[in-house]
A and B are shown apart, each in its own frame.
Chain A
């Protein structure tokens, strides 16, 4: 497998604080790659640099063979990386279907074609029956799936998920895990997720990277990473206990 996304010695500083410190890793095409770490480890900063919301101070981010560091978020999306937001941001006064149509119009000029595309995605994400509701009327789990649907509508090669499981009940988490696994296996979609919910990470991820104080402290399969003493000490210890 070749790397779809690769980061090389990427750093970001906020005044004195080094949020991300020389992080390098590769996400192979078709992978389900998880980034975990305690609060304040720099996960969201890392995510924002990949998604174009922040410019790295140093290092290079390469996607599909071309550097994307410093591009604007809309350019990044047009290159084929779609993101969700940690605090969900659907278009509140628009219907569920219109939310997804907007994503679909990125690569389609025709609204009818975008609607067809949106409806197919809404069926996959169990939102089809709610397509005429306003996005603001949805429950949190529905909104999270709506964000995924809108991102998928832009037809990304890489889906970036920022704590998409946070705030979900275990049954809802399992449902989301099942959806993401299907997208990965059946459509070959590469997924990079930042996640706190270990239940989801263990069930989903093919590879895990652990970030602590802006530094990568471990990388590997989920089984090896959770046994890593440094990881247990800095992160998992507290949670498992």
Chain B
């Protein structure tokens, strides 16, 4: 199962990695000072962008690096969201500790799906369907689970005090902004480290040609399991963030397939298998949606569904023009890399 074209070679041209670092530092710097410069509306947009950049990177570990297509990543985010939310609401356990509880559960869920698929040769499209099935099981199961208030939804108490309580993740948008910014940066560092290590090379080999990877001595079952488990564990934090940022959880929304699709659009538009692609894709997608919104308001257009149609057309054009994503093309144009990261 491969998307049209994935990351190309890794070796950056001479000097490119330094320019790359400069770009990264500039982007990071701009994002750090953003809350002092932009208004509240833009902060909420940036939170959404960074949330999608984070989940896109997590999904990219599995698909972009190891070549295993998951269409059910909402499962791992949903598990993170519900576990942290229930622990907080019922026992007053802080979300950071809740995340530590959610992480192994999400990884175990990934391991179960991975084991079933990889042991019994479920691959490609069939693997993708299996991942959807498990997210659907969770949706239906949680809809009937009284400890999470079933389909009536789980609500976190919203505090009124004026300060930011980082330990309990109770506070204003700026606090949430810095939390997700830090998480996105950490995910980037993690992905970069993985891609440049032994495990990353083995994943790329599996993605490129599993039979040839085995012939080179790689235990492909084991390394595919690592990919699913790491990707699931990283994704679970996004759920914890989601729960405490939005304060309400409905199985119907949390585990819905549209949540999973939302996570994978960024990397696909930005560049599957690249390090910057998921981040760039999140900016482009959310930016596009918000621009369309404001444009339609400005021109006084009030056609229900028109925004979605325009959005769809824009995505279609990007995918047709740049099937391997925007980042490989952009980085070549900018002379940053040969398009691999």
Contact = CB atoms under 8 A, between A and B. Distances in A.
Bind each other: yes
Interface of A: 51, 72-74, 77-78, 82-83, 85, 89-95, 97-98, 101-103, 105-106, 109-111, 114, 131-134, 150-151, 153-154
Question: Looking at A90, A93, A131, A133, which has the most chain B CB atoms within 10 Å of its CB?
Answer: A93
B201 A77 contact: no
B7 to A, nearest CB: 6
B160 interface: no
Contact of B8 (A101, A106, A134): A134
A77 B202 CA distance: 15
Interface in B1-54: 5-11
B216 A102 contact: yes
A226 to B, nearest CB: 32
Nearest to A134: B9
A98 B217 contact: no
Contacts of B196: 111
B218 A74 contact: yes
B63 to A, nearest CB: 14
B212 interface: yes
A85 B209 CA distance: 12
Contact of B214 (A74, A114, A132, A153): A74
Contacts of B220: 74
Contacts of A95: 9-11
B219 interface: yes
A85 B210 CA distance: 13
B81 to A, nearest CB: 35
B202 A102 contact: yes
- Of all A-B residue pairs in the complex, the 7 with the closest CB atoms, nearest first, are A95-B9, A77-B217, A91-B208, A106-B217, A89-B212, A73-B214, A74-B214
Interface in B192-232: 196-198, 201-202, 204-205, 208-209, 211-220
Contacts of B7: 93
Contacts of A74: 214-220
